[in-house]
């Protein structure tokens, strides 16, 4: 115990004395979340809207007002016929066109089907469909209000969205972003700290000593777990304060899960450093081994459901996949351990497997 305590204290000194690295370790996640949080967004703002209204009446004027009031749209033109649309789209003046059928209000009043055609520039399919959804949402709201007044009013089919009714993409991204930033930093910390000792030669002295591999590994992981915990708190505060992502579930549970996830990433870093001999190789392995899979395959940017089965299968072995589920579950859905125990179990299992594998592959002898 004396030996382990000595190691922990020594690692603490290393961390505290290297102020610059410590600052990087703590501030990097915060800065990355801000940068990514603002740049990875699928929200659309300032949508350039054209209204095609052959026979303006009270209903279409009211709908136009609704679009103006929504804040997302800017009506750049109101034209009488769809013939004028093509040049507007071609010059990128318009992004969405809302075309009312003639005698729109009249049709509604007598209970006929009133059609409205929403045309979107789909050059960028994602933002295109996002804009389309915004438009339909405005129309649907209006329809709903009308329905409460009179009986059946039919304008367009209905779409629902749950958990993220405001359709803020930050709500979706920030938990994933936290996962990515925390994995990278955590894996990097441990990957570098063990290989640094191999490079400076102090590792030889540790290996000749009676220290057991598990002691060396615990001595390396534990201090960084503390830094990781600080990062988790920082990133959560940031999510809440800067991006206004709600935390509907239990905050302590989220902290515990975050720390568990950090432990998995630290263990991954230790495994990498146990199997590499230079800081450079360890850094590359840690970056590539965490950043790419976390970005591509954790379901944080690209939905897993639309991936080929092989990639879906691979995504299961990526820790972030599970943490994203946990974080979204706690933050957005407000669920607790009763729903999240399988994910928690998987993360715990991963940490255990990685730590045991590191202890095993940690060579007491040099090669």
Partner 1 sequence: MPDLAIQAKGLTRTFGGFTAVDHITFEVRAGEVFGFLGANGAGKTTAIRMLTGLLAPSGGDATVAGHDVRREGEAIKRDIGYMSQRFSLYDDLTVRENIQLYGGIYDLSGAEIRDRTQRMLARLGLEHVERQAVRAIPLGWKQKLALSVALLHQPKIVFLDEPTSGVDPITRRQFWELIYETAHGGTTVLVTTHYMDEAEYCDRISIMVAGRIDAMGTPAELKQQAGVESIDELFVRLARPTNGDTSQQATA
The residues of the shown chain that bind partner 1, judged by CB under 8 A, are: 2-3, 5-7, 9-10, 13-14, 17-18, 200-202, 204-211, 364-366
CA distance 47 to 182: 34
Of 145 and 204, CB closest to partner 1: 204
Tokens describing residue 193: 């700290």
CB of 185 to partner 1, least distance (A): 21
Of 167 and 212, CB closest to partner 1: 212
Of 18 and 43, CB closest to partner 1: 18
Name, in order, each residue with C-beta under 8 angstroms of 351's C-beta and a sequence gap of 6 or more: 260, 263, 264, 267
CB of 193 to partner 1, least distance (A): 12
Of 43 and 204, CB closest to partner 1: 204
Of 161 and 200, CB closest to partner 1: 200
Tokens describing residue 86: 């093509």
CB of 204 to partner 1, least distance (A): 4
Taking residue 207's Cβ as centre, other Cβ atoms within 10 Å add up to 17
Helix (H) or strand (E) holding 99: strand 96-100
Report which of 344, 296, 341, 287 is spatially closest to residue 318, judged by C-alpha positions. 296
Residue 246 in contact with residue 331, Cβ under 8 Å?
A: yes
Of 110 and 366, CB closest to partner 1: 366
CA distance 139 to 101: 14
Burial zone of 266 (CB within 10 Å; 0-12 exposed, 13-18 middle, 19+ buried): buried
Residue 330 in contact with residue 249, Cβ under 8 Å?
A: yes
Report which of 301, 336, 341 is spatially closest to residue 321, judged by C-alpha positions. 301
CB of 355 to partner 1, least distance (A): 21
CB of 11 to partner 1, least distance (A): 10
CB of 212 to partner 1, least distance (A): 9
């Amino acid at each position: 115990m004396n030996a382990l305590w000595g190691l922990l204290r020594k690692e603490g000194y290393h961390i505290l004395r290297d102020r610059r690295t410590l600052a990087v370790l703590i501030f990097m996640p915060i800065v990355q979340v801000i940068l990514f949080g603002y740049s990875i967004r699928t929200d659309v703002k300032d949508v350039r809207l054209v209204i095609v209204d052959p026979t303006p009446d009270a209903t279409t004027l009211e709908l136009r007002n609704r679009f103006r009031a929504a804040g997302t749209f800017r009506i750049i033109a109101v034209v009488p016929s769809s013939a004028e649309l093509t040049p507007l789209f071609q010059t990128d003046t318009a992004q969405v066109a809302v075309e009312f059928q003639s005698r729109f209000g009249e049709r509604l009043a007598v209970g006929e089907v009133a059609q409205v055609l929403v045309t979107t520039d789909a050059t960028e399919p994602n933002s295109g469909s996002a804009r389309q959804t915004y438009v339909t949402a405005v129309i649907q709201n209006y329809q709903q209000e009308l329905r409460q007044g009179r009986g059946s009013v039919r304008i367009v089919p209905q779409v629902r969205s749950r958990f993220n009714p405001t359709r803020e993409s930050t709500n979706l991204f920030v938990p994933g972003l936290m996962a990515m930033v925390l994995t990278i930093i955590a894996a990097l910390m441990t990957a570098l700290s063990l290989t640094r000792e191999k490079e400076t030669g102090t590792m030889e002295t540790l290996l000749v000593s009676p220290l057991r591999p598990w002691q060396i590994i615990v001595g390396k992981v534990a201090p960084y777990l503390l830094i990781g915990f600080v990062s988790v708190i920082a990133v959560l505060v940031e999510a809440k304060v800067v991006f206004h992502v709600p935390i509907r579930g239990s905050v302590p549970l989220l902290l515990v899960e975050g720390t568990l996830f950090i432990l998995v990433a630290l263990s991954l870093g230790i495994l990498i450093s146990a199997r590499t001999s230079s800081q450079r190789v360890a850094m590359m392995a840690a970056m590539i081994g965490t950043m790419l899979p976390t970005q591509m395959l954790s379901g944080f940017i690209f939905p897993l459901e639309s991936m080929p089965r092989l990639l879906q299968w691979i995504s299961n072995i990526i820790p972030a996949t599970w943490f994203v589920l946990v974080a979204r579950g706690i933050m957005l859905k407000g669920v607790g351990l009763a729903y999240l125990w399988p994910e928690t179990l998987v993360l715990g299992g991963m940490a255990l497997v990685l730590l045991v594998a590191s202890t095993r592959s940690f060579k007491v002898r040099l090669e």
